[in-house]
């Protein structure tokens, strides 16, 4: 009765504890990988959907701009006048966006990335 059973053996207890710790370590790595995959998938999906939306908006804007340019060209007597006026409008819009780039573009993009990685 002095003999210890294998479950009471300190070496087997330590081996069992080590095996469980190793298993926990590997499982936590897998969970971290899955969480990273989920976050990156959501972010890529959101970026792709926004890019498609931007492409559609740009096509609409292109056709509206051409229509406005032809209309203004007829209004002023020369077609190229209309295109020059529309181009001037776009230059003014570009200058506005260039000087307010941080508020309009960089803040929302950084907010998007931090939103997904801080969850």
Dmax (CA) for the chain in angstroms is 113
Predicted pLDDT of residue 11: 84
Predicted pLDDT of residue 37: 93
2 pLDDT band, cuts 50/70/90, is very low
Do the beta carbons of residue 34 and residue 48 sit within 8 Å?
no
Mean pLDDT within 22-47? 93
pTM for this structure?
0.59
| DSSP element (H, E) containing 5 | none
Quote the DSSP letter at residue 10.
Answer: H
**Statement: residue 112 has pLDDT above 70:** yes
Mean pLDDT within 19-40? 93
pLDDT, tens digit (0-9, with 9 covering 90-100), for 4-29? 565 678 888 888 889 999 999 999 99
DSSP 64-77: HHHHHHHHHHHHHS
Do the beta carbons of residue 76 and residue 82 sit within 8 Å?
yes
Collapsing DSSP to helix, strand or coil, 19 comes out as: helix
Predicted pLDDT of residue 38: 92
Do the beta carbons of residue 8 and residue 1 sit within 8 Å?
no
Mean pLDDT of the chain: 88
**Statement: residue 47 has pLDDT above 80:** yes
């Amino acid at each position: 009765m002095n003999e210890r059973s294998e479950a009471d053996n300190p070496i087997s207890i330590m081996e069992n504890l080590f095996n469980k710790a190793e298993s926990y370590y590997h499982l936590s790595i897998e969970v971290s990988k899955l969480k990273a995959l989920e976050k990156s998938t959501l972010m890529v999906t959101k970026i792709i959907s926004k890019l498609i939306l931007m492409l559609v908006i740009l096509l609409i804007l292109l056709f509206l701009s051409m229509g406005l340019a032809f209309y203004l060209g007829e209004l002023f007597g020369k077609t190229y006048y209309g295109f020059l006026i529309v181009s001037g409008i776009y230059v003014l819009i570009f200058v506005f966006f260039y000087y307010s780039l941080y508020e309009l573009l960089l803040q929302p993009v950084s907010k998007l990335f931090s939103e997904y990685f801080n969850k």
